């Protein structure tokens, strides 16, 4: 009976919902009447009456449906941006207050309201970053990796990667190639066109093509995202996609910037902002330490996500918006404690740890990690004669056995 009560039957039922409608069996909320959200939700019962709320934002940009007199949705294009975010936040806050015991299930929320990432330069580095972001989305959201990949758009020499590129695609690029039909009549041959079509929240550069994040590209990103994330990661410095100073100016101080090479602070409207260098030096030591101490069988996607969250929690920008997005490598020892602790806990949650004597309390775990960290202290050097030197000293000097 599954094929009758679910796929593909339910797809037909959804498409024809307006024509099959008999009576309201749910709560309809109007984005143009946000002030009524709490009142409308309150009509459905007392706190103990509601256990599970399934919510969807299915509106439409389909002209045929918008012109259909029977269409039950709003006769307007789908909302996005600040208006959409306020509407969803109002619903969530109202539902939590009215029905604190209820589980909220977000069903089929529009892809345009999830994070969108464009990666410019789809070689080994670019696709490697794409894989990490995809895997993190999948691990954190419960989506399949195939669905998570739909939130990334990869651009290379021919433009946006498309299925029609066929044999020109590398094995690593294939999962990110888009359907040509989705971009019929839309130019995807250059970065600016892709930015206009995708409207990404994040732009990552791994192209080694200098100055490709142009003023037009940054301004286009800033026109549809309140705080665009722009990471020109190509290095060395002469190969960066844009100078942080220019990105900051073109975005009118809105862009969140990290680079693949060191850059001096940038200024805007009299304020100076530190530019963080985005590399693995602040993350890898803690990941390795966590794996070693937990004796984890393998490093899972969820362990990496835990490491990234622990690193993000140490961002100096959380305390001062003028500081860098990532902590400085000079603080790597303290950062590694927090990352290692998160990695160990994630390893335990997945049953991957082979170490059985891991402390249960968080403070005890942190102390346990600190006690086992390598201490970068070195023995002092003193000058000795060849005659009085030990065999070890002679061996390190390369003079063992020399009389």
* 114-280 shares the fold of 14-111: yes
pLDDT at 391: 78
Q: Give the Cα separation of 359 and 132 in Å (integer).
A: 30
What are the DSSP calls for 233-287, one per residue? --SSGGG-SS-HHHHHHHTTT--EEEESS----EEETTEEE--EE--GGGTHHHH
Residue 24, SS3 per DSSP? coil
Cα distance between residue 281 and residue 261, in whole Å: 12
Whole-number pLDDT of residue 403: 44
Helix, strand, or coil here: 331? helix
Per-residue pLDDT of the chain (403 residues; tens, 9 = 90+): 766 776 667 778 877 888 888 887 789 899 999 999 999 999 988 998 888 888 988 877 788 888 999 988 888 887 877 788 889 999 999 999 999 888 788 776 665 568 899 999 999 999 999 999 999 889 888 889 999 999 999 999 999 999 999 999 999 999 999 999 888 888 899 999 999 999 999 999 999 999 999 999 999 999 988 899 999 999 888 889 999 999 999 999 999 999 988 899 999 888 899 999 887 788 888 999 999 999 999 999 999 999 999 999 999 999 998 899 999 888 889 999 999 999 999 999 999 999 999 999 999 999 999 999 988 777 788 888 888 888 777 776 664 444 4
Domain ranges of the chain: 14-111, 114-280, 282-372
What pLDDT was estimated at residue 112? 56
CB 384 within 8 A of CB 393: yes
Contact (CB, 8 A) for 277 and 326: yes
CA distance 263 to 276: 8
Specify the pLDDT at position 400.
45
In the numeric block, which tokens belong to residue 234? 């190509």
Instruction: Please enumerate, by residue number, every residue annotated as part of a binding site for a divalent metal cation.
Output: 107-108
Residue 313 host element (H or E):
helix 301-313
Per-residue model confidence (pLDDT) at position 2: 61
Q: Record the tokens describing residue 341, joined without a space.
A: 């602790």
Topology at the third CATH level for domain 14-111: Rossmann fold (3.40.50)
Report the CATH number of the 114-280 domain: 3.40.50.720
> Which residues belong to the annotated binding site?
107-108, 235, 279
Q: What is the pLDDT of residue 402?
A: 45
Q: What's the Cα-to-Cα distance from 190 to each of 114, 127, 146, 157, 181, rounded to whole Å?
A: 23, 18, 25, 9, 18
Binding-site annotation: residue ranges for (S)-malate: 235, 279
**DSSP designation for 76:** S
Is-above-0.85 flag for pTM? no
Give the pLDDT confidence score for residue 398 in this predicted structure: 64
C-alpha angle 169-196-193 in degrees, rounded to nearest 5: 50
pLDDT at residue number 178: 95
């Amino acid at each position: 009976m599954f094929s009758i009560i679910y796929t593909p039957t339910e797809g037909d039922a959804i498409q024809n919902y307006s024509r099959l409608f008999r009576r309201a069996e749910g709560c309809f909320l109007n984005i143009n009447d946000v002030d009524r959200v709490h009142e409308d939700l309150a009509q459905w019962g007392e706190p103990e009456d509601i256990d599970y709320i399934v919510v969807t934002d299915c509106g439409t940009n389909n002209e045929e449906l918008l012109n259909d007199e029977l269409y039950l949705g709003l006769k307007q294009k789908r909302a996005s941006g600040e208006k959409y975010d306020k509407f969803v936040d109002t619903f969530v806050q109202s539902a939590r207050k009215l029905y604190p015991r209820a589980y909220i299930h977000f069903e089929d929320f529009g892809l345009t309201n999830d994070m969108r990432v464009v990666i410019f330069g789809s070689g080994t580095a670019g696709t490697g970053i794409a894989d990490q972001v995809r895997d993190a989305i999948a691990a954190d959201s419960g989506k399949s990796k195939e669905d998570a990949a739909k939130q990334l758009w990869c651009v290379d020499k021919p433009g946006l990667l498309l299925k029609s590129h066929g044999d020109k695609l590398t094995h690593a690029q294939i999962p990110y190639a888009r359907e040509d039909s989705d971009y019929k009549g839309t130019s995807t041959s250059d970065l600016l066109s892709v930015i206009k079509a995708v409207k990404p929240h994040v732009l990552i550069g791994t192209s080694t093509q200098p100055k490709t994040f142009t003023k037009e590209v940054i301004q286009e990103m800033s026109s549809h995202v309140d705080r665009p994330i722009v990471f020109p990661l190509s290095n060395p410095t002469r190969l960066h996609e844009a100078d942080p100073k220019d990105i900051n100016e073109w975005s009118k101080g809105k862009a969140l910037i990290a680079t693949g090479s060191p850059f001096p602070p940038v200024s805007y409207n009299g304020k100076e902002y530190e530019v963080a260098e985005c590399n693995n030096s602040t993350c890898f030591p803690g990941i390795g330490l966590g794996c070693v101490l937990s004796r984890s069988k393998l490093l899972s996607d969820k362990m990496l996500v835990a490491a990234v969250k622990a690193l993000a929690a140490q961002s100096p920008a959380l305390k001062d918006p003028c500081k860098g997005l990532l902590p400085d490598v000079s603080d790597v020892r303290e950062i590694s404690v927090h990352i290692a602790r998160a990695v160990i806990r994630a390893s335990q949650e997945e049953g991957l740890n082979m170490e059985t004597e891991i402390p249960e309390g968080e403070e005890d775990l942190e102390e346990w990690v600190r006690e086992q960290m390598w201490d970068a202290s070195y023995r002092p050097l003193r000058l000795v004669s060849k005659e009085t030197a030990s065999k070890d000293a002679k061996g390190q000097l390369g003079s063992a056995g020399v009389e």
